[in-house]
Amino acid sequence: MCVANAEAAEADDEGVIPLPVFTLQDFQRLNVSPAVSTVEPAPDTLKNMNTNVFAVADAQMFETELGGFPVAVRAYPVQYSWNYGDGAALGPTPLTGAPLAEGDWDIPTDTSHVYSETGDYSVTLTTFFYGEYNVAGTGWQPVAGFNEVASAPVPISVWKATVRNVADDCNENPRSFGCPGTN
């Protein structure tokens, strides 16, 4: 491999030039895309019911330069941490969660959460990416540490549901409890 005179001056007695080490700080400077964080049901859920969360993240590849050398970098999502916004959290965990089947709700999952109070919350997700780098085609090496990448917060409103049995027919008695326009 040809190098500039400045790099050649750093060669040892055998003509070997030390390659730079791609550090965690170098890894953190890359524009690693955050996972897509999803909450369901959203934007509203119910108190004392299971609210499902899941993440979708992809491996990513980067080309950069370090000390005049070309560097290829691979970033792999390996762990996830959720903060449900009410003081409860999950992770770091390798579990990504998964979407519920259409029409399903209140299904406990590995990543779901039950809110015990009504209110407005923000669910936040941090994804931990493992990295590998390859300086000038010399072979893949691990980056020491994880790149923690935050996703955009997902707002969620937790409501209380009240169930009542109603025996009236709204067509016959439009002012009956539960009919449109009544309380």
Q: What's residue 8's pLDDT? A: 47
SS3 for 75? strand
Kindly give the pairing relationship between strand 113-114 and strand 60-66. unpaired
Query: Is the pLDDT confidence value at 12 over 50?
Result: yes
Choose which CATH entry (1.20.1050.10, 3.20.20.60, 3.30.230.10, 2.60.40.10) describes domain 18-159.
2.60.40.10
Q: What is the pLDDT averaged over residues 150-166?
A: 89
In this predicted structure, what is the pLDDT of residue 2?
A: 46
pLDDT the model gives residue 175: 82
Average pLDDT over residues 120-149: 97
Q: What is the mean pLDDT of the chain?
A: 90
Number of Cα atoms under 13 Å in the Cβ half of residue 123 = 30
Identify the CA nearest to 58 among candidates 38, 33, 80.
33
More confident residue, 130 or 6: 130
Mean pLDDT value of segment 13-21: 72
With a cut of 90, say whether residue 162 has pLDDT above it.
Answer: no
- Residue 3's pLDDT band (cuts 50, 70, 90): very low
pLDDT value of residue 182: 74
Q: Is the pLDDT of residue 168 over 90?
A: no
* Contacting residues for 99 by C-beta, under 8 A, at least 6 apart: 38, 40, 52, 54
Kindly report, residue by residue over 45-58, the tens digit of the pLDDT.
999 999 999 999 99
The pLDDT of 102-130, averaged and rounded, is 97
Q: What is the per-residue pLDDT for 81?
A: 98
Average pLDDT, integer, range 48-77: 96
Q: Which whole number is the average pLDDT over 68-78?
A: 96
19 — pLDDT class (breaks 50, 70, 90): confident
**Quick one: pLDDT at residue 59?**
98
